Structure 1
Amino acid sequence: MAVAGPPSGVVTFLFTDVEGSTRRWEADAEGMRAALAAHDEVLRSVIAAHGGILFKHTGDGVCAAFFAPRPAVDAAVAAQRELGLPVRMGMATGEAELRDGDYFGPVLNRTARVMAAGHGGQILLADSTAGLIGGVDLLDLGLRRLRGVPVPVGVFQVRAAGLREEFPGLRALKPSAGNLRAAVAGLIGRESDLAEIQAAVRAHRLVTLTGVGGVGKTRLALAVAAQLEDEFPDGIWVFELAAISDPAALPDAVATVLGVTRQADTSVSESVAGALDGRVRLLVIDNCEHVLDAAADLIEVILARSATVRVLATSREALAVADEHVWPVPTLDVGAGINSTAVTLFVERAQAVSPEFSVDQAEVAGPVVEICTRLDGIPLAIELAASRMGSMTPGEVRDRLDQRFRLLVGTRRALERHHTLRHAVSWSYDLLSGTEQSMLQRCAVFAGGFDLDSACAVAGSDDLDEYAVLEVLDALVRKSLLVADRSAAQTRFSALETIRQFAEEQLVAGGSSAEVRGAHARYYAEREAGIISRWDGPRQREAYDWLTVELSNLRAAFRWAADQRDLDVAGTIATWTAWLGFWMHNYEPTLWAEELLEPARAAAHPRLAFLYSMASSCWWPGRIEAAVGYSDAGRLVFDSGRDEVPFGLDGLLGAAYLHVGQPERQVDWCRARLALGRDTHGITRAFLTIALAVAGRGEEARAAANGLIEVAEATGNPAALSFALYAYGYAFGDADPAVALDAQRRGLVIAQQSGNRNTETRIAGSLARLEADYGDPLDALDYVALAVRSFRDAGNTSMMRFPLTVLVAIFDRLGRDEPAATIAGFAVSPLTETANPEFTTATSHLREVLGEVAYERQARRGAAMSVAAIATYAYDQINQAQTELNASSHQPPWG
C-alpha cells in the first residue's frame, strides 16, 4: 500500500519488543543476532504492506505509526504469525505531533506502557484503539493502571487464528477502584442537592450529610460519590457502619475493607491512616450515628495523617470534627402537590408493585398528595406507603395513617421526624403475618447481609423448611422490608438499617435475642467443614471470596460466642477463619485466635494447638516477639500429644524463629513433626525446606525439596502447590537458578489465579532476587514493584521493607547509587539487616562509592519518608530504571 507521507494528527501507534532478549543474547549471541535480523525484516515488510511508517528502532523492537487503527491491528496479527521470536505488541490511538521524523505526545507513553504490560506473542490494545475498530475478536482484560499514565486504561487482547490465546496475567495493575457499586435506582428530586454536595466535597476535606433516618442520606452520598469517581484515581471506598454494634470494632472493620494490617506499636486507626497516606481517595462512611465518637476519632486521625483523602459521611447528627462541613439533607418537596418530587417518588415506587397505578384520577391523586404531606416528604416512609399499593388503595393507606401515625403534639417546627419514621416502620411491621414478623426479627442478627441457608439456620421452627423460608423472604422483599441483591451467583438479602434496628428491638423485647444469636454463631462455626473442603481443592478462591463476603457475620458470631465463653464455637470460627485469612493477607482473625489462647489453655481445649499455630502467624504484620512467644508456648501443647492441626500445618508454628535468627529451631521442629507422618499436604516439609535454606544448609534443603512439588500436586490444593513451588525455588535458587525461576514463576501464576496473596507476595520478592542475579533486570524490577505494592496495599509496612532491600541491591548494581541509599535508609531494620546478605553487601558498597557523609545524608532522607512517600519514590525510580534498561536493549550492566 502506497502512502503519501507519515501520519499526523490522530495516529495509531504500534510498539513491539522481544520478551526475554537478555537471556537469549547471553545464551546464544550469534543465534540471537540472526533471529533479530529476521525479526526486523518481518516487521519492516508487514508494517509497510499495511500502510504504516516504521519511525524508530528500540534495540530489539520497533515503533510504527498508522493512519487508522484497523491496518495497525492487521499488521500486528500478520507479524505475529511470521515472527520466530516471542514479541509483545501494544497499540494506542491519540493525537501526536510529528517533528523531525519523530513523534511526541502522551499517546506514545501510553502505547509503550500497554506493550510493556504484555507477554511474548500477545497483542494488546488500549481502549482508545479498541473503541475505533469493528470485526476484530477482542478479549476485554479490564481497566489497568499503567506506570506513568495518570488514569486507568482499558486493555484488550487481540484474538485471531494462528495466534496464542492463553497468557499469564498482565504486567500491570488493576485500578484501585474501591468498592463503590452502581446505584440500584435513580434519585428523584435531588438534582440540585447532587451538584451542591459535589462542590462541597471538592472544597472541604470532610462533608457530613445529616438528617432524619430514612431521608435518603446514604443513597444521596453514593450518588455523589459515583459522579466524583473520575476525580479519585485511587478509588472510592464505602464503609457501611450499620452492622457494627461495638464502637471499639470500628477501626478493625474499616481496616478489613481496605485490606490494611495493624502494624507493630501502632493502633489500628493509625495503621489505617498510614495506609491511606498519599492516596487520592474518597471515603464514604455511612451510618455514623450509633458509633459517633469512634467514627469521629478515626476520621480525625485519617485527616491529620493524609492531605489527599476526603471523607463524605452520613449521620443523624454532626460528627463535631474540626473543619467539618455539615450539609443537612432536606426532605422531598411536598408543596407542589401532584407535581411535587415526593409524589413523583410515590408513583414510581407504587408502579413497581402495581404497574397500572396512576394518579390521573382525582380520587387517587388527592389521597397520594395527602399521604406524602403527612409523611413530611421522608423518602423511606413514602416508599413504605407506596409498597402497599399492590394490595390497598391510596385512600385506605391514608386512613391507616390517621390511626397509626400519631405525631407529637406541638408545632411543625417541633416535630420529631424520627418518631414519624418509627411509626411508619411500626405500621408496616404490624401488617406482617406472625411468621413474617418472626423471620424479620431473627434476620436482624445478621451483619452485612445473609443468604437463604443462613436464614434457615436462625428461623427457629421445624415447620419452616427451605422452601417455606424462601417464601417468607420473598414476601418481605415484596413489602420492601428486605432487599434482594441478585448481582452474584447466589441471592443475598439485607434490610434497610432503620428496619433492621426496629426488628432487632422487637427481637430483644420478645426475649429471643440470646437464642437467635446463639443459632447465628453456631451456623457460622458449622460452615467450617464445607468451606475448608472448598479451600482444599480447585475451588479455593471461592473459599476466600466467601470469607470476604461473610467477614462481618463471622466477626459478630465470634464476638457473641467469645462473650458467652462458648469456646467450641468461638474457637472453631477463630481457627479456620484465621487459616483462610493467613493466605489472604487478612490478619484480623489472627487477633481472635490470640484472644482465645488463655481461656482455651485453662480449659485444655482440643483446638488449643490450632489456636497457637494461627496466633503465631502474627509475625507477618511485624509482631515478631509475640509470635515467638506463641511458638514457644505452642510447642509445649503439641508435644503433649493432645492436639492436632489440619493439613500438616504444624510447621507454621515455628516460622517466627526464622525472623529472630534461629532457623535451626525451625529445622528441629519441622523434622520432629514430619516424623509423626501427618504432613498430608507437604506444608511442613515446605517450611523445613525454607528453614534449611535460611540456615545455610543448601544440600539438605534441596534434598527436602525433592519430591515436594509432586506431593503438593497430588492434593489438588493451589495453596499447597504454590507454596511448595516457592519453597522449591527458594532451595534451588543459587544452585540451579533456571530450575528455581521456572518453579517460582509457575507458583506465582497459581497463587494469583487462586487468590493466595500471601504466597504471591513471597514469590514476587524471591523472584525479584533471582531475576536480578540470574535473569532479566526488567523482570526483577517488576517483581519488586509487585511485592512492595502488595504489602503497601495491605498496610504491612514491616514486611514491605524486605522487597525494598532487594531493590537496594538491584539499584546498587545498576549504579543508581543515590536512590539505592535513600531506599536503604527506609528499608533498614533489625529484621532486614540480617535477612538479606545482598542488602548488607550493597549498603557497604554504597558507602564506599558515595562516601560516608553522602550515604548518610541520602539514608536519613529515606528514613524520614512516610510509607506513602517511599512507595511513590520506589515506583518512580523503578520506572526510570526500566526506561533506561529498555533504551539499552535490556542489557544488564553487570553481565
Structure 2
Amino acid sequence: MNPPTGVVTFLFTDIEGSTRRWETDAAAMRIALDAHDEALRKAIEGHGGWMFKHTGDGVIAAFASPPSAIDAAVAAQRALELPVRMGIATGEAERRGDDYFGVVLNRAARVMGAGHGGQILIADSTAELITGVDLIDLGPRRLRDVSRPVGIFQLRADGLGVKFPPLKVLNVTPGNLRRPVTSFIGRESDVADVVALLRGCRLVTLTGMGGVGKTRLSIEVAEHLTNEFTDGVWFFELAAVTDPAAVPDAVASVLGIAQQPGMSLVDSVALALEGRVRLLVFDNCEHVLDAAAGLIEAILARSKTAKIVATSRERLMVEGEQLWQVHSLDFGAGPESAAVRLFVERASAVAPRMSLAQAHDAAAVVEICRRLDGIPLAIELAASRMSSMTPSEICDRLDQRFRLLVGSRRAPERHQTLRHAVQWSYDQLDDAERAMLARISAFAGGFDLEGACAVSESDEYTTLDLLDALVRKSLVVVGRSDGRTRYSLLETIREFGTEMLTASGEATAVRIAHAHHFAGLETKILALWDSPQQREAYVWFATELPNLRTGFRWSADNGDLDAAVAIVTGTFFLGYGIDNYEPVAWAEELLEPARAVNHPRLAYLYAMASQCWLPGRIDDALRYGDAARLLIGSVGDELPFGAEGLLSTPYANSGQLELAIDWCRTNLRRGRDTHALTRSFLIFTLMVAGCEDEAMAVADGLIEDADTSRNPYTLTFALMVYGFAFRRTDPRRSREALQRGLEAAHETANRSNESQLAICLATVEATSVDPRAAFDCVTLAIRNLHDSGNITTVCSPLAILSTVLDRLGHHEPAATIAGFAINPFTAAAVPELTLSIVHLREALGDSAYEALAHAGQAMSNAEMVAYAYDQIDEAR
C-alpha cells in the first residue's frame, strides 16, 4: 500500500517488562517475539496500515484513517500473548523516505508510554475524529516532553482488559494549590459551568456575600483545571493584605518574582508571567479592589497564556471580566438538599452518631438550613454546635444567630463567627451605604425602589446608586420579573442590618416610614384592583404580604391607628379575592381602639371583620355584622364599590335568609350598587331561600351591568350567581355563564370566585346525564377552599359530591360525606343533598346510615378532604 500523507494516525506499541523477560529466558522470549511481530504485522496490514519502524520490542504504524488504527489495535491485542501497551494519536506529519517526522509522533509515543500491558490509549486528537467506539475518558494528563496536557481515553472492547493501574504520567504540577481537607458538597454543576466559562475567557470573578463559598468553589475549579496549566495553579490569599499597595508584593513573594531594574513591581510580575501557562487564583479582593484589579489588568495585558479566577464581594471592573454569582446552597429539597447534606457531614465530625433517622431531627436540620439562608459558613458553624446540642436546641436559638454561630479561632478571622463574616462586608461600605443597608432591613420579604426611597428619605437616583453599590458588593439580592426589579436581603444580612438600625437610633423613624409607605398605597392599589389589571393587584398583595404584615404590626402595636386602618382597608378586597383572610383578622384587632375614638372607618372595619365566618367563626361574624349594619344605617357610613351587600353573607350562611335578603334590598334602594355586588348577593340569597323566580327576574341584565365596572371580581361573581339562578330552569344558559366565569376567574387569579363557580358548575353537572363530569369541579373547589382554610364553604362541594356518589351507587361513602357536609346552609343551597339522604336511608337502612354519617361528622376537615379525594379517585 502507499504510505499515508498529510493528517496521519499513528499506532505505537511496546512490550511491557521486555527487559526482564529477556534476562529471565532469552530463548522463550525470542520465540514469543516472533509470534508478537507476526500478530502485529497481520493486524496492521489487514486494516490498511503501514508498519514502517521497529523500536526495540515495539513497532510504529501509520494509518490513513483513525478507525482503521483503532480496529488494528483491537485485533492485535486479541491475538497477542505478551503484555503490549499501545498508544494512538492523529496529526500532521511529514514523510521523509520510509520515515515520518512531526510532533504527533512524540505525542503518540508519550501516550503509549503512559499505559500498561494490554491497554490501548488514544489521544484526544484521535478520539474527537471517531464515533461508535467505546471510550473511557481518563481526562487531560501531563506527559513528559509535551508542553500542554493531552486528553487521554482508554479503548474498551470485547476481549480487552478494563482495569489497569494508574497511568504513568507526570504527577508533580507546579503551583501552591492545596486540597481542602473537607469534602466538596452541592456545587458540582457550578464547577462545571465555571470551568466551561473559563475555557472561553481569561478572567472569571466569583462574587457573593461573605461565607457563601466563593473560596471553596474557586479551589474546586482550580483542581479541575490543574492538568491544563503546565506551569501550575497558583493561589493568592489577599484577605490578610490590609494595605492595597502591598498586593503586588504578596503575589510576587508567592511566585518568587523579584522587581526588575527600572520597572514597577506590577510590571515585573506581569513580565515574569509572559508566556507562562498558569492559572492564578486571587482570593478575597474586595477590600483591596483597585490594587487587585490593577495587577490583574497588567497580567492579562502582558501574558496571553495566563488565566485568572478571582473571588470578591463585588466585580473588579476589568475589561473582559466574566462574572459568576455564587448563590447559597439549595435547601428546598429538604433532607436531600445540598445544605442539609453539608450540615450532616460537618456535624458528623464532632458528633459521629449524628443521624436524621428521627423525623423531628430531620425537620429541625431542614429548618436550620432554611433560616440560615443556605449559607455554607453559617451551616458549618451551626453544625459545629452538634457536639453539645441537639438540632432542635440549635434551631430554637437562631434568633441569636450572631452569638450562637461561633467557630474555631484557627479559622481566618473573617470566618471565625457569622458576625465576622458579615462585619467584613459591612466594613467595606461607606457611611451612606451603611445607612441604606440598615434602613432597608425594615423590609420583610423584599422591596422595590419606591419603598427604598420611602425609608431612606432620599430621591430616586440617590437611592438607586446606593442600592446598586450594595448589589455589587453582594449584600442586596436582585430579582427581575415582568420587567420589574425587586430587591431583597438574605435573612442573615437583614438581622445584622436590623442591629445596625437599632444602634443608629433611627429604628422608630424608619419603621414609621415603612408602615406609612404601605398605608399610603391604599388608593393606588385599590384602583389597580378595580380595573382589568386586577391580577397585578393580587400578585402585589401576595408579594408584599410580609411587608404589609410588618407594617400593620408596627402601627397597631404603637398606636398609629390611621396607618393600621389604611393597611387593612387597602388589602381587604385583595385578600378576599384570593381566599386570604389575614386582613379580616387585622380588622378584628382594630375594632376596640377604633370604637374608642369613634374612627370614621369603624363601620368598614366591622364589615370586614364580619367575614370571619369564612374560616368558621359564625357567632363572631354575626355580632360584627349587627354592629356594622347599625353604623351604616345610623351615620350613613359607606363601603367602597357599593359592597354593603357583603354584610348579608354571615346571615345567609347561618340560615337567617330573610334578614340577609332584606339587608340587600335596603341597600339597593339606596342606589349605591355601583359594581352590581349587592344585587349579586341578593340573587344568590334568593336562590338559597328557594325564591327562584324572583332571583331570575333580578338577574336579568346583571352580567351586562357587572361588565361595565371593568372589574374582573365583580364580573366573575355576577356570572356565578347568574349561572346559579338558572341552573334548574335553563341548564344550558347556566353552564355557559358558569364556564365563562370559571375561565375568567382563573385567568384573573380570582380564586375565591373560582371556587364558587366550580361549586355552582358542579351542581349543574351533578344533575346531567353523566354526573361524573362534576368530579373535576368538585375537586377544584375542595382543593382551593381547603388550602385557604375555608372550613365553612368547603361543605358545599362535599355536599354535591355526596349526591353524585349516591347516584353512582357508592352509598357508603356518600353517607359518610353527607354526615360531614349537612348543615342549614348546604341543606338550602344544595337541596339535592336532602333528597340524597332520604335515598341513602332507604338503600342502607336508618341505622347503617346513621353510623356512617356519624363517622363522617366526627372527621376533621383534613381527614374528610383526604377521604373525599380517595372516593373521587375510586369512583372515576
- AA aligned to 1:431 is Q
Check if 1:441 corresponds to 2:441: no
Decide whether aligned partners of structure 1 residues 702 and 410 sit closer, same or farther in structure 2, where only a CA change above 3 A counts.
Answer: closer
Measured after TM superposition, the shift of residue 825 of structure 1 is 3.1
For 1:839 and 1:348, locate their aligned partners in 2 and report how far apart those are by CA, in whole Å: 76
Tell me the equivalent position of 1:681. 675
2:495 counterpart of 1:501: yes
Q: Identify which of 450, 464, 468 aligns with 1:453.
A: 450
**CA distance, structure 1, for counterparts of residue 631 and residue 540 of structure 2:** 31
What are the Cα deviations for residues 339-361 of structure 1, in whole angstroms up to 9, with x where unaligned?
Answer: 699x9999999xxxxxxx99995
Give structure 2 stretches of 5+ with no counterpart.
Answer: 1-179, 189-208, 226-232, 240-246, 257-280, 296-309, 312-404
> In structure 2, the residue corresponding to 1:604 is in which secondary structure?
coil
Separation in 2 of the partners of 1:490 and 1:336? 35
- Report the Cα offset of residue 842 of structure 1: 0.9
| AA partner of residue 630 (structure 2) | L
Q: Which amino acid aligns with 1:744?
A: L
TM-score by length of 2: 0.56
User: For the Cα contact (< 8 Å) 1:801–1:828, is it kept in 2?
Assistant: yes
Q: Which moved more, 1:695-704 or 1:523-532?
A: 695-704
Aligned positions of 1:37-436 closer than 5 A: 193=185, 363=253, 385-388=284-287, 390-393=289-292, 412=409, 420-436=417-433
Letter in 1 for 2:290: S
What SS does structure 1 have at the residue aligned with 2:672? coil
- The answer to whether the 8 Å contact 1:594/1:612 transfers is yes
Is the Cα–Cα contact under 8 Å of residues 214 and 421 in structure 1 kept in the other structure? Answer: no
Counterpart contact for 2:406–2:416, Cα < 8 Å:
no
| Secondary structure of residue in 2 paired with 1:585 | coil
Q: 1:578 to 1:435 in 2, by over 3 A?
A: same
Cα distance between partner residues in 1 of 2:714 and 2:407: 69
TM-score (norm 1): 0.54
Partner residue of 2:631? 637
Tell me how far apart the structure 2 counterparts of residues 358 and 862 of structure 1 sit (CA, whole Å).
78
Partners of 2:235 and 2:283 within 8 A in 1: no
For the residue of structure 1 that corresponds to 2:767, the secondary structure is helix
CA offsets, 1:298-317, max 9 Å, x none?
A: xxxxxxxxxxxxxxxxxxxx
Cα separation, 1, equivalents of 2:767 and 2:661: 27
Q: 1:668 and 1:475, CA in 2 relative to 1: closer, same or farther beyond 3 A?
A: same
SS in 2 for 1:485: strand
Counterparts of 2:282 and 2:608, CA distance in 1 = 48
Residues 385 and 606 (structure 1 numbering): CA distance in 2 closer, same or farther, change over 3 Å? farther
Indicate the residue corresponding to 1:875 in structure 2. 869
The equivalent position to 2:804 in structure 1, one of 804, 810, 828, is: 810
Instruction: Report the 3-state secondary structure (helix = DSSP H, G, I; strand = E; otherwise coil) of the residue aligned with 1:484.
Output: strand
**In the aligned structure 1, how far is the partner of 2:544 from the partner of 2:753?**
23
Task: Report the AA paired with residue 572 of structure 1.
Answer: A
Q: Who is 2:752 aligned against?
A: 758
Q: 1:789 to 1:499 in 2, by over 3 A?
A: closer
Letter in 2 for 1:444: S
What letter is aligned with 2:454?
Answer: A
CA distance in 2, matches of 1:410, 1:749: 56
Could you report, residue by residue, the CA deviation over 1:422-448 in whole angstroms, capped at 9, with x for unpaired residues? 244334323322221221111110001
Tell me what 2:393 maps to. none
Q: Indicate if the aligned counterparts of 2:519 and 2:570 stay in contact, CA closer than 8 A.
A: no
Cα deviation per residue 1:263-292 (whole Å; 9 max; x = unaligned)? xxxxxxxxxxxxxxxxxxxxxxxxxxxxxx
Q: Which amino acid aligns with 1:703?
A: A
SS of structure 2 residue aligned to 1:798: coil
Matched-pair contact (CA < 8 Å) for 1:384–1:480: no
Q: 1:189 & 1:842 partners in 2: Cα distance?
A: 71
**Corresponding position of 1:68:** none
Q: Which of 1 and 2 has higher RCO (CA within 8 Å, sep 6+)?
A: 1
Q: How many Å apart are 1:602 and its aligned residue?
A: 1.6
Q: Quick one: distance in 1 between partners of 2:863 and 2:666?
A: 45
Shift of 1:572: 0.8
**Equivalent pair of 1:590/1:617 in contact (CA under 8 Å):** yes
Distance 2:439 2:735 in 1: 54
Q: What residue in structure 2 maps to residue 238 of structure 1? A: none
1:647: which partner in 2? 641
Taking the aligned partners of 2:875 and 2:248, their CA distance within structure 1 comes to 67
CA distance, structure 1, for counterparts of residue 563 and residue 670 of structure 2: 28
Indicate which of 770, 779, 801 corresponds to 2:773: 779
CA distance in structure 2 between the aligned counterparts of 1:359 and 1:705, rounded to whole angstroms? 86
Residues 594-743 of structure 1 mapped to structure 2, 5 A cutoff: 594-743=588-737
Gap change, CA 1:344 and 1:564, over 3 Å in 2 = farther
Structure 1 residue 337: deviation in Å? 14
**Cα pair 1:616 1:628 within 8 Å, conserved:** yes
Structure 1 equivalent of residue 480 of structure 2:
486
Does 2:510 match 1:516? yes
- Which residue of 516, 525, 529 maps to 1:531? 525
Give the aligned residue type for 2:498.
E
- 8 Å contact kept, 1:338–1:365: no
* 2:688–2:828 CA contact under 8 A, matched in 1: no
Percent of aligned pairs with the same amino acid: 50
Number of aligned residue pairs:
534
Q: Relative to structure 2, which stretch is displaced further, 577-586 or 824-833?
A: 824-833
Partners in 2 of 1:421 and 1:441 — Cα distance?
A: 18
Q: CA deviation at 1:454?
A: 0.6
Measured against aligned partners, the alpha-carbon deviations of 1:465-504 in whole angstroms (never above 9, x if no partner) come to 2122111110111111211122453111112333222222
Tell me by how many angstroms 1:784 deviates: 1.2
For 2:221 and 2:740, how far apart are their aligned partners in 1? 67
Conserved in 1, the CA contact under 8 Å of 2:210 and 2:424?
no
8 Å contact kept, 1:358–1:364: no
Q: CA deviation at 1:880?
A: 3.7
Q: Which residue of 1 aligns with 2:576?
A: 582
Q: Say yes or no: does 1:592 pair with 2:562.
A: no
8 A contact 1:769–1:806 mirrored in 2: yes
Provide Cα deviations, 1:832-890, integer angstroms capped at 9, x if missing partner: 455432212211211111112332343344345554443343233323433xxxxxxxx
The residue type equivalent to 1:502 in the other structure is: F
With over 3 angstroms needed to count, the CA separation of the structure-2 counterparts of 1:430 and 1:365, relative to structure 1, is: farther
Aligned partner of residue 679 in structure 2, secondary structure: helix
Deviations 1:387-411 (A, max 9, x none): 446434499999xxxxxxxxx9998
Q: Secondary structure at 1:492's aligned position in 2?
A: strand
RMSD of the TM alignment (CA)?
4.0
In structure 2, what is the equivalent of residue 547 of structure 1?
A: 541
Contact (CA 8 Å) 2:522, 2:566: kept in 1 or not? yes
Instruction: Give the counterpart letter for 2:491 in structure 1.
Output: E
For 1:546, give the aligned amino acid: W
User: Shift of the alpha carbon at 1:737?
Assistant: 2.2
Per the TM alignment, residue 333 of structure 1 is displaced from its structure 2 partner at its CA by 11
Structure 1 residues not aligned, in runs of 5+? 1-187, 197-212, 220-330, 350-356, 367-381, 399-407, 883-895
Checking the alignment, whether the CA contact within 8 Å between 1:659 and 1:835 is kept in structure 2 is no
SS in structure 1 of the partner of residue 478 of structure 2: strand
Indicate if the aligned counterparts of 2:746 and 2:754 stay in contact, CA closer than 8 A. yes
Of structures 1 and 2, the larger Rg is shown by 2
> Is the Cα–Cα contact under 8 Å of residues 238 and 284 in structure 2 kept in the other structure?
no
1:768 and 2:667 correspond? no
SS across alignment from 1:412: coil
- Report Cα offsets for 1:704-758 as digits up to 9, x if no partner: 2111111110111110100011111222222322222221111111111111111
- Contact 1:214/1:498 (<8 A) preserved: no
Deviates more, 1:435-444 or 1:417-426: 417-426
Query: Which piece of structure 1 moves more, 721-730 or 487-496?
Result: 487-496
> 1:639 & 1:189 partners in 2: Cα distance?
77
